[in-house]
């Protein structure tokens, strides 16, 4: 399993497999930082980043586009990842 499998495809499509940070949306940067915090087992920071991501996504205009759906899917997946890390089987 590649260490970057949890990243959304958009993170892996740029030059050398990743987009430069300046070309990423704020929500994508926060999501990347969230996953890094999870990778480092810093769940308190991951939780705060997840709350920040929720704030950013809910402030954006409601758009019925696929992009809006992808944002919400990413948010749900992030919540699930943090829950699973905090509640290992």
Question: Over the stretch 17-37, which tens digit does the pLDDT of each residue have?
Answer: 565 667 788 999 999 999 999
Q: In sequence order, what DSSP letters do the residues of 24-43 get, joined into one string?
A: S-HHHHHHHHHHHHHHTT-H
Q: Quote the CA–CA distance of 31 and 51 in Å, as a whole number.
A: 11
Share above pLDDT 70 across residues of the chain, in percent, rounded to a whole number: 69
37 domain residue, yes or no: yes
6 domain residue, yes or no: no
Question: Which is higher by pLDDT, 62 or 89?
Answer: 89
14 domain residue, yes or no: no
User: Per the structure, how many domains does the chain have?
Assistant: 1
45 domain residue, yes or no: yes
Q: What is the mean pLDDT of residues 50-76?
A: 82
1 domain residue, yes or no: no
80 domain residue, yes or no: yes
Q: Quote the CA–CA distance of 11 and 58 in Å, as a whole number.
A: 22
User: 55 exposed, middle or buried (CB, 10 Å; 0-12, 13-18, 19+)?
Assistant: exposed
Q: At what angle do helices 26-39 and 43-59 cross, to 10 degrees?
A: 160
Residue 69: give the domain boundaries.
25-86
């Amino acid at each position: 399993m590649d260490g970057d499998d949890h990243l959304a495809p958009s993170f892996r499509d740029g030059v050398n497999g990743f987009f430069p940070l300046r070309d990423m949306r704020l929500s994508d940067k926060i999501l990347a930082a969230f996953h890094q915090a999870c990778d480092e087992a810093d769940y308190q920071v991951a939780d705060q980043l997840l709350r920040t991501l929720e704030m950013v996504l809910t402030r954006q205009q409601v758009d019925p586009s696929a992009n809006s759906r992808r944002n919400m899917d990413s948010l749900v997946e992030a919540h699930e990842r943090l829950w699973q890390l905090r509640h290992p089987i």
